[in-house]
Amino acid sequence: MVSKLSFKGDKPKTKKKTVKRTTRPISTKPDIDVPLIENSWTSATTFTDLNGPLIITTYERSNDDYEHLTQQPLVLTPDILGDIRPSKEVRIVDQTETINFETDDIDPLVYHANIHKTEPGDVQQVFLATSVAFATLGGDVNPNRTKLALKTPSDKYLSLNDQGDVDCKNEAIGPYQILEFEKHVISKEGVWFKIWNGNKRLSLLKNEDKFQLKFKSNDQDDQIISDLFVIRVQTKNSTTGKRLLREHEESKTLGSDSISLSIRNAINSLQKSGIEVNQSTIQRLKNAALKGKLNEQLILERSKSKSDTRC
């Protein structure tokens, strides 16, 4: 074999490495722990999270920035007579046994706090969020609040009574059982809610080392140590939890052999354009692919999305 001529002073040329290109498989399955989502609890961060079973927790607030991480949570607990007390008998799970969905305005360290890892310690602590849509008909709607009633396992509703106390003794929904939830974002503590009935808010009081719950107006701040509450809901009922489970179900369909690579690419293309892909969309793409008109169908899907957006 004749080698290439070289001269004194020539710099040796570096051989280019040959990189073997491999086609990266399209991943359509979200990296989520389905059993954890289906069985865990999460801290509510939106009004739409407030549905299904929930527990209401709080703690004695302090001025220490990080004391809240280890603060003992208190949970609203009705007794057999319908009276409500703040109880320390709440289950605090390991960080790996709960899911909290991070947001840009919350310090991620927040979700290591005990109050964001709680689960019911007793079935009596669980309230069922009940819609009171009729209460907003014909009235002013406050976009910063949402209205709900809370029902106990004994079919009684959390109420403001004549003494300004909170109890669960009423079997029907009236003005004193309709509660307004007002969202508050605290960057170092997470998302909390104030719970109102009329002009009075649910408050945690402390009198001689004994905790109490009462509804207080703004001019009654004596003995109040907190009027903010973390609401824990079942993760599968939260807005994000529902979305993740739905995407997981869709991913099982997307991962089947019945969908060709071209259809998967079409689906990815639509999703990158911000277009929601559901089972009906997938079926239309399949039908178009069988007719050799997949590209035409993609154009139709994008046009339809733009039309829906303008409506």
**Chain position carrying tokens 């039309």:** 307
Q: Is 120 among the domain residues? A: yes
CATH of the domain at 65: 2.80.10.50
**Chain position carrying tokens 């104030």:** 194
- What is d(CA 67, CA 140) in angstroms, rounded to the nearest whole number? 39
Question: Which pTM value belongs to this model?
Answer: 0.72
Instruction: Look at residue 53 and give its three-state secondary structure.
Output: strand
Average pLDDT over the chain, rounded to whole? 84
Helix or strand holding residue 308 (H, E): helix 294-310
Instruction: Say whether both 111 and 167 belong to one domain.
Output: yes
Instruction: Say whether both 156 and 112 belong to one domain.
Output: yes
Instruction: Say whether both 272 and 225 belong to one domain.
Output: no
Q: What's the pLDDT score for residue 164?
A: 82
Q: Is 10 among the domain residues? A: no
Instruction: Say whether both 196 and 262 belong to one domain.
Output: no
Q: Is 9 among the domain residues? A: no
In the chain, % of residues over pLDDT 90: 51
Instruction: Look at residue 182 and give its three-state secondary structure.
Output: strand
Instruction: Say whether both 230 and 297 belong to one domain.
Output: no
Q: Is 180 among the domain residues? A: yes
Closest CA to 124 of 160, 163, 168, 62: 168
Instruction: Say whether both 53 and 182 belong to one domain.
Output: yes
Tell me the two tokens of residue 228. Answer: 């903010």
Instruction: Say whether both 223 and 272 belong to one domain.
Output: no
- What is d(CA 230, CA 91) in angstroms, rounded to the nearest whole number? 15
Q: Is 248 among the domain residues? A: no
Q: Which domain holds residue 286?
A: 256-306
Tell me the two tokens of residue 151. Answer: 């029902």
Q: What's the pLDDT score for residue 235?
A: 97
| Number of domains the chain contains | 2
Residue at which a domain ends, from 174, 205, 235:
235
Compare 296 and 227 and report the one with higher pLDDT.
227
Instruction: Say whether both 266 and 216 belong to one domain.
Output: no
Query: What are the DSSP E strand ranges found in the chain?
Result: 41-43, 52-58, 74-78, 84-87, 91-92, 118-119, 127-131, 145-151, 157-160, 166-170, 179-186, 190-197, 200-207, 210-217, 224-226, 230-234
Instruction: Say whether both 59 and 208 belong to one domain.
Output: yes
Reported as a single tens digit per residue, the pLDDT across 10-49 is: 555 555 444 333 333 333 344 578 999 999 999 999 999 9
Determine the average pLDDT of the residues in 166-192. 95
Instruction: Say whether both 119 and 179 belong to one domain.
Output: yes
Q: Is 129 among the domain residues? A: yes
Q: What's the pLDDT score for residue 45?
A: 96
Q: Is 15 among the domain residues? A: no
Instruction: Say whether both 97 and 202 belong to one domain.
Output: yes
Q: Is 242 among the domain residues? A: no
Instruction: Say whether both 207 and 285 belong to one domain.
Output: no
Determine the average pLDDT of the residues in 51-70. 85
Reported as a single tens digit per residue, the pLDDT across 83-99 is: 999 999 999 999 999 99
